[in-house]
Structure 1
Amino acid sequence: MKIDTPKIPEDLRDRRFTDIFYEEDPEFEMCMVTDSNFSNEALDRVRLYKTVIRNCNFTNTDFNRIDLTDVVFENCDLSNADLSHASMNRVEFLNCKLLGSNLTESYIGNTRFRESILNMVTFGSSKLEKVIFDDVALESADLYKCKLKKVEFLSCNLNGASFEETPLKGIDISSSNFDSLTVSIENLKGCIVSSSQAIQFALLLGLKIRQH
């Protein structure tokens, strides 16, 4: 699946993330932010455009209603951050940690999470469109009542993830692994699974499989 990637210009200005407090509105455009510690802060309706954020710490930070367009996060820690009601378009998270982060009621489009940890993330009531999870840990992630459109899970750990009230029609999880998954049988219709996963689902349903 092809998704639109972040459009990042060549000439980015170097900034510390704390500089955002001195802006008239909490926004950065065409910036390169590196090695900033912005944990345990609160900033409503932050807007980031055409910006690269590298080696930064945002643990426990409240970024409610954050607006991200053409942004790359690299080696960042956003564990337990509040990113609820976020709007994301053309965003990449590379080697990032979003352990226990809150992404409920968000719009996430043209976004790639790669080699990142999203265990216990909550996506409840979010819309994900053209999103690729590539080699991502999503253990015990909660995708309750989400709308998934053109979403791929490539070689992910989905163990204990919950897809309650989320239709998985057309969603490919065949290259990912899990021991258990919460999903109702009607929402599993049209989901693309591997043959070993099909056996797993059959066992979860209580079917007894006779090997010939």
Structure 2
Amino acid sequence: MTPVGSQRDVYRPPLQKPAKPKVDKRPRPAEAEEFVDDAVLRAVHFDGKVLTGAVEVVEMENSLLSNTRFVGASLRQSVLSDTDFDTVDFANFRALDVALLKCRVGTSRLTGSHWQSSHFTDVTVESGRADLAQFRGSKFRRVIFQDVHLQQADFQGAELAHVTFEGCNLTGAQFANCKMTKVEFTNCTLLDVGGTAGLKGATVRGPGATELALSLARDAGILIEM
């Protein structure tokens, strides 16, 4: 007999997975000087470039960035779609109202980057670092973080729907005032997580569930003595 209140037989629709980017198979080589205000970049390849400056209103699609660094760079009110970022250094990069649509970010560094009020739709982030990254007030839909270092990342006030964190280190991450729909944490490290009330609606699997319980107890004012 199934106990009253059991979730065993409740149907749970699967998470929607992100669509893959459609990168041009033969993008033309691009120069750093093309990364300027109001640029429209289609089917280009920034390879080994250093991109700098405060840039606004860029449209980039069907493109590839590899072994490229953003140095002292910022971006506002721009759309990057169907683009593959492979081994890209976004450390301390600042983005405001930027949309990533159908993008892959692989083996890249986002340490200390700021993504304020930005939109991530159909995005996969793989095998990189995003510790101390700030995503405050941003919106995530159909996003996967896989094997990413997210220690002390700040998701405060973010909206997440159909988002998966898999094998990520989220020690000290902040989730205060988040809104979550169909969010899963699988085999993640969830020590000393802040704003645990913002995780309402999420599913946690693996050892991170026990780690998260300690943070939940702390936020509830419960003292646990071992």
Say yes or no: TM over 0.5.
yes
* Aligned equivalents of 1:182, 1:195: Cα separation in 2: 19
The answer as to whether partners of 1:60 and 1:78 remain within 8 angstroms in 2 is no
**Counterpart position of 1:35:** 48
* Aligned equivalents of 1:197, 1:124: Cα separation in 2: 23
1:115 and 2:127 are equivalent in the alignment: yes
1:93 and 2:108 are equivalent in the alignment: no
**Counterpart position of 2:17:** 2
TM-score, normalised relative to structure 2: 0.84
Q: In the TM superposition, what is the alpha-carbon distance from 1:121 to its structure 2 partner? A: 1.0
The answer as to whether partners of 1:17 and 1:38 remain within 8 angstroms in 2 is yes
* Aligned equivalents of 1:195, 1:17: Cα separation in 2: 44
RMSD: 2.0
Structure 2 counterparts to residues 76-87 of structure 1, below 5 A: 76-87=88-99
TM-score, normalised relative to structure 1: 0.89
169 and 50 in structure 1: CA distance in 2 versus 1, 3 angstrom threshold: closer
Q: In the TM superposition, what is the alpha-carbon distance from 1:102 to its structure 2 partner? A: 1.0
Q: In the TM superposition, what is the alpha-carbon distance from 1:175 to its structure 2 partner? A: 1.3
Residue by residue over 1:155-201, the C-alpha shift from the partner in whole angstroms, topping out at 9 and shown as x without a partner, is: 0010110000013453211311132101233x333321236433333
Residue by residue over 1:13-48, the C-alpha shift from the partner in whole angstroms, topping out at 9 and shown as x without a partner, is: 111122344x9x412111111011123x11111111
* Identical counterparts, % of pairs: 22
202 and 156 in structure 1: CA distance in 2 versus 1, 3 angstrom threshold: closer
Q: Which amino acid aligns with 2:17?
A: K
Question: Comparing 78-87 with 201-210, which one deviates more in the overlay?
Answer: 201-210
Which of residues 52, 60, 63 is equivalent to 2:64? Answer: 52
* Aligned equivalents of 1:155, 1:56: Cα separation in 2: 26
**Counterpart position of 1:193:** 204
**Counterpart position of 2:137:** 125
Q: Which amino acid aligns with 2:211?
A: Q
Structure 2 unaligned segments of length 5 or more: list them.
Answer: 1-15
Q: Which amino acid aligns with 1:198?
A: A
Q: Which amino acid aligns with 1:177?
A: T
Which of residues 14, 24, 47 is equivalent to 2:29? Answer: 14
Bigger strand fraction: 2
Structure 1 unaligned segments of length 5 or more: list them.
Answer: none
Aligned length: 206
